[in-house]
Amino acid sequence: MSLYLSAAKQGVIRLFTLPRLSLPLIVTLGLTLAAVLTVLAIANTLLLKPLPDIKDEKNIYSVDVTLHISDGIRVPFLSELNRVAHMQQYYSQELGWGHIQVGDSNVEINTRQYNATRLVSASGTPEMLGLDLVLGQSTSSEEAKHGVWISESLWHVAFGQRNNALNSTIEFAGETRPVLGVLADLKSVDLGNDANDGYYQVWLFNDPLEALTQPEALSLGSRGLTFVKGTAELLPTEESLNDWYKDYVEASVTDERPKAFLLGKPLTTQIQPVRDAFMGESRMLVIALLIAMISLLVMACLNLFNMFIAHYQGRNKEFSIQFCMGSPVQRLRRMIFVENLPMFTFATLLGLLAAHWLIRLLPVLAGDNLPLLEHINIDISSILIGGLIVVIINALFSYIALMHVDKHALTESLNSSGKGTPSQQKQSLGRVLMVFQLVLACLLLTVSLISAKQSFDKVYRDLGFDLPNAFEIAMDYKDEQWQQSLDTYEDYVGSELYLLRESLAERLDALGGKVINVANLPLRVNVEISAFEDPDTQETRTMIVAPWAEGFFPEFSIELLAGRDLLPEDKDTNNVVVDRRFAEERLGSKDWQDIVGKPLRMGRDAENVVNVVGVVENVEPAIGAPIDLSLPTLYRFRERTGSRLSMVVIMPDGKTLSEQEVSEVIGDLDARLGNVSVTSIEQRWESMTQTTRLNMYVVLTVAALTLILAVIGVSGLSQMTAAQKRYEMAVRMATGAKQLSLLKLLLKDAGLMLILGLVLGFVVSVFGYQYMASLVEQLPDFTWTVSMMVGLVLALAMLISVAVPSWRTIQSDPMRVLREL
Amino acid sequence: MKTIVSMRDIHKSYLGQQIETHALRGISLEVKQGEFVAITGPSGCGKSTLLTIMGLLDSATEGSYEIAGIDTRGLKVDQRTTVRNQHIGYVFQSFNLIDSLTVFENVALPLEHRGERKEVVKAAVIEALEKVGMGHRMQYQPNQISGGQQQRVAIARALVGKPDLILVDEPTGNLDTKNGDAVMQLLLELNKQGATIVMVTHDSRYSGLAHRQIQLLDGKVVAEQQVKSQTDKEVA
């Protein structure tokens, strides 16, 4: 049997007979490899592989024109087709243009309701993007504006992939439209609809030329995606987009006030490859994750490497004999490589298996933070990369395991008894690795704990109100036109919407709770933001306009700070309550209470005056919202229709509400309402914080893993150092050294490296973090307290990691070594 | 004369893999101050085990052991260490010098562990090294000097604290004849200067130089031979 075959056989045997070596290696390397492979698979799908739906992506660019309404609020301007159509006319006719407006809508197909994403688009957009037409006619056809196209996923579920879908109709936004085609699912874009991955899509098409003839609607805020296709030299530049904006506003907005408003706001224009636009911050997030996972892999390898050194030092004699028998050191290294192959193969298999499961868990772990989740998988390239990583690690281990054993040391080992002075091993490599590991641990812990702290602060911050046993009851408007008509009234009191809400409140009273006639819980999904120009200061003021109802403040323990609460008698007046933020913005942090009793102009019109009767504490209306909603808030007795008809009920403690129970009391309120849903405030809090909490748990897991790896690594090294120093300790004990002085000696020995590692780690983490934060926008600002805490925790953990194994070695009768001499 | 070592019915057994090995079986002996005792016997008879118990590197399974009037039974690890530091000097067969320390630092170890002041340590170390003829190698590392010189340094370390008892385990085992003879001559001189020495050796040339020879076999004392006068003895 050849030496290599024999080594391989020994390797297989050691898998089972040497679990102290094989088990930590397989588990540690396997799991960290899984993490690295998972992130590599994500990076491969998001950054390298062609997009699954869009063809010729290299020539397609995303165009954004964003208006800065205030510091925290930026709204896309290209949300209307007529604006994009104007842009199309403005630039070269050789460019191809596409536009999609995204919204949610319920569709009814064959009496069954589907939660779908509505894509109102310029005709020809799917063809421009290269989206496959599965069935039916081109979206540029004459009939396009009368019908709809549905996505392949919706076609599968609603029509079972039957071709007769083309002869069918769907109920959609209060009207009936024929299905004219089936398009491939639009997957690359995050459409903001979590239901069915957003793949149930209904497309409506409008002719851009017709849109040009429509007047400017002066609406802002809805989401629009604009694409342009063409060669680089023909593409609009960001500067020219500014010129277009001015040109458009001048030409299309006739009223001077909105024109001045639009031209007076700062603007951001951007044109970028479509993949960059779709991936957004994900690119840097993936790179940061990749660095973190590779760092963990390096730390794990350092730990395993210390174990390897200890193992191979114990076999020095064996290698010395091999060397004396004529084996070159290189051959010994190759034999070690072959011997370790079975262990590394098992680690690779475990890594691939764990990566496969991790990827399946990604939708839960990553939530909405990563696009194209369903396309991420372990493919042949991942397997090859995994194998390559492990082969490189094995080769490195085999090389370094014998690096300190030069030929001289080998023969010396044979000539000596293996005891006494020759048995002292060099530890410089292990110490350098320990410093390196501490630096990595410091950086990783700083990044993960600062991120975790941000998530914690976000989830568990003071919202400014209590969470009683409150429920939000909501119903869908089946008729969109009726829904829109409800919002058209001169006086809210007495309007159809007012009466509908009063009627609903009366019925809900039967549930036995306290009905609060407002549409939303204080933690709300929809927030009405109003912006206007202050006639006194000419500043743009942005605020949240929230509905008020009797009992709203006391039931949610929203503290009244000045003045009085609104009363039912205030219904027909312009009396309002504002929050402290609002008052401070108007009158400053000292005199804010003086706002009570003051009439405030809310625009240029004389009738837009409100009278502030009270000030309440600030509340946070949402957690994890994409924009900062810490805005001044004004509470008034007026409701908007909203996307659904909803109301709040506070039930006695311990009492829950079911949809069936609510449906029974609502009865036949109006045939144009349906789909009752009940959401408790806890459910709302859970759903709003879910992604942030998951992120926090993932980040904390990374931090815990980092700390555990660092502790294992340093304690392993300390154990090895103490074991190597047993002889010296024994001599010292024989000459009168007490146990405590031996411990001091070992701590002093490791202390210098620990201090060096921690100081270097601290410096690297401070500067490294700030550099990373400049690249990854999701990373929060650097905080010294967390960084100092990391240093302290790590120092304490490292001290224990050194002291415990050292003390155990001291306790284990080191003088036995001397007796054995 | 003062009794330095007093052992009564010392037993030592090791429990291996279900097999109990009896290394010492009821050894009793006394060593008086200023004596030079050689313990001899064939390999495996228990002489090194006896020396490690005498040096408090190990403890007896049964029996009592007093050194300089201190009963060592029930002493804790650190108490045994203190006794060893103040009353015993140990010379190992393989020298056991710490290679990361210089010759000076190796010899200084017992005094440093005793907490002596630096100047006291320095004076004592220089005196000890001069005594063994290694004063000119104080700043050398152990691996820079010969085996014979390493053994001299080990002897200097054993006597630097002026212990009541110097235990020497096969002092010539790792040395050639010339170096071995020189080390034995050194031990004899130290004994003449008043040091109490117990030496383990299997070399009859050297055991014959002691005041008393104790012969062990299978863990028992089988013979004890008193040498009448040692005055003019020298290593041949």
- B chain contacts of residue A728, beta-carbon cutoff 8 Å: 98, 100
Q: Tell me the mean pLDDT in the region B204-213.
A: 87
Nearest to A735 among B48, B94, B109 (CB): B109
Q: Contact A419/B78, CB-based, under 8 Å?
A: no
How confident is chain A (821 residues) per 10-residue block, as mean pLDDT? 78 86 86 89 87 87 86 79 90 87 80 84 91 89 87 89 82 81 86 66 89 80 83 87 92 84 87 84 77 85 79 74 70 88 93 90 70 82 89 89 59 45 54 83 89 88 88 86 83 88 92 90 80 76 88 92 91 90 88 88 77 92 75 87 87 90 87 86 86 81 86 78 78 84 85 88 90 79 90 89 85 69 47
Q: Contact B96/A737, CB-based, under 8 Å?
A: no
A745 at B interface, C-beta within 8 A: no
Q: Contact A736/B143, CB-based, under 8 Å?
A: no
Q: What is the 3-state secondary structure (H, E, C) of A708-741?
A: HHHHHHHHHHHHHHHHHCHHHHHHHHHCCCCHHH
Is B193 inside a domain boundary? Answer: yes
How far is B87 from B68, CA to CA, in rounded Å?
7
Looking at residue A181, its pLDDT comes to 92
Is B232 inside a domain boundary? Answer: no
Query: How far from the centroid of its chain's Cα atoms is residue A669's Cα?
Result: 41
A419 at B interface, C-beta within 8 A: yes
Is B221 inside a domain boundary? Answer: yes
Q: Is A476 helix (H, G, I), strand (E, B) or coil?
A: strand
Q: Which amino acid is at A564?
A: R
| DSSP code for A216 | P
Nearest to B81 among A421, A736, A818 (CB): A736
pLDDT band with cut points at 50, 70 and 90 for residue B235: low
- B chain contacts of residue A421, beta-carbon cutoff 8 Å: 97-99, 142-143
Looking at residue A368, its pLDDT comes to 62
Looking at residue B16, its pLDDT comes to 67
Angle between helical axes of A282-313 and A19-43 (0-180°, round to 10): 160
| DSSP code for B17 | S
Structural domain containing residue B172: 3-226
Q: Contact A731/B82, CB-based, under 8 Å?
A: no
Is B152 inside a domain boundary? Answer: yes
pLDDT band with cut points at 50, 70 and 90 for residue B174: confident
Nearest to A420 among B57, B95, B161 (CB): B95
Looking at residue A1, its pLDDT comes to 53
- B chain contacts of residue A732, beta-carbon cutoff 8 Å: 98, 109, 113
Please report the sign of the dihedral spanned by the C-alpha atoms of residue B102, residue B106, residue B107, residue B111: positive
Nearest to A732 among B49, B86, B109 (CB): B109
A729 at B interface, C-beta within 8 A: no
Looking at residue A686, its pLDDT comes to 86
Is B234 inside a domain boundary? Answer: no
| DSSP code for A47 | I
Angle between helical axes of A681-724 and A428-459 (0-180°, round to 10): 170
A737 at B interface, C-beta within 8 A: yes
Question: Among B150, B143, B144, B139, which Cα is nearest to B180's?
Answer: B150
- A chain contacts of residue B55, beta-carbon cutoff 8 Å: 734
8 A C-beta contact, residue A105 and residue A258: no
Looking at residue B115, its pLDDT comes to 86
For A387, the token pair is 């194998």
CATH number at residue B124: 3.40.50.300
Is B236 inside a domain boundary? Answer: no
| DSSP code for A556 | T
* Contacts with A517 (C-beta within 8 Å, 6 or more apart), sequence order: A501, A502, A505, A549, A550, A647
Chain B, nearest residue to A738 by Cα: B78
Looking at residue A283, its pLDDT comes to 77
> Is pLDDT of B226 > 60?
yes
Q: Where are the alpha helices (DSSP H) in A315-372?
A: 316-324, 329-366
- B chain contacts of residue A819, beta-carbon cutoff 8 Å: 48-49, 52, 57-58
Burial of A812 (0-12, 13-18, 19+ CB in 10 A): exposed
8 A C-beta contact, residue A620 and residue A461: yes
Q: How many domains does chain B have?
A: 1
Q: What is the 3-state secondary structure (H, E, C) of B43-89?
A: CCCCHHHHHHHHCCCCCCCEEEEEECCEECCCCCHHHHHHHHHHHEE
Q: What is the 3-state secondary structure (H, E, C) of A171-207?
A: EECCEEEEEEEEECCCCCCCCCCCHHHHCCEEEEEEC
A587 at B interface, C-beta within 8 A: no
Q: Contact B92/A424, CB-based, under 8 Å?
A: no
Most A CBs within 10 Å, among B103, B105, B106, B113, to test the A interface: B113
For every residue of B167-222, DSSP letters joined together read EEESTTTTS-HHHHHHHHHHHHHHHHTT--EEEE-S-HHHHTTSSEEEEEETTEEE
Chain B, nearest residue to A740 by Cα: B78
Nearest to A819 among B52, B85, B94 (CB): B52
Looking at residue A116, its pLDDT comes to 85
Please report the sign of the dihedral spanned by the C-alpha atoms of residue A766, residue A767, residue A772, residue A777: positive
| Residues B16-65: tens digit of each pLDDT | 666 788 889 999 999 999 999 999 998 888 888 899 899 988 889 999 99
Looking at residue A407, its pLDDT comes to 52
Is B58 inside a domain boundary? Answer: yes
8 A C-beta contact, residue A209 and residue A142: no
| Residues B119-145: tens digit of each pLDDT | 999 999 999 999 888 989 999 988 889
Looking at residue B129, its pLDDT comes to 92
Is B14 inside a domain boundary? Answer: yes
For A25, the token pair is 């290696």
Question: Among A799, A756, A747, which Cα is nearest to A433's?
Answer: A756
Q: In the beta sheet, which residues pair with residue A465? A: none
For A460, the token pair is 């568990």
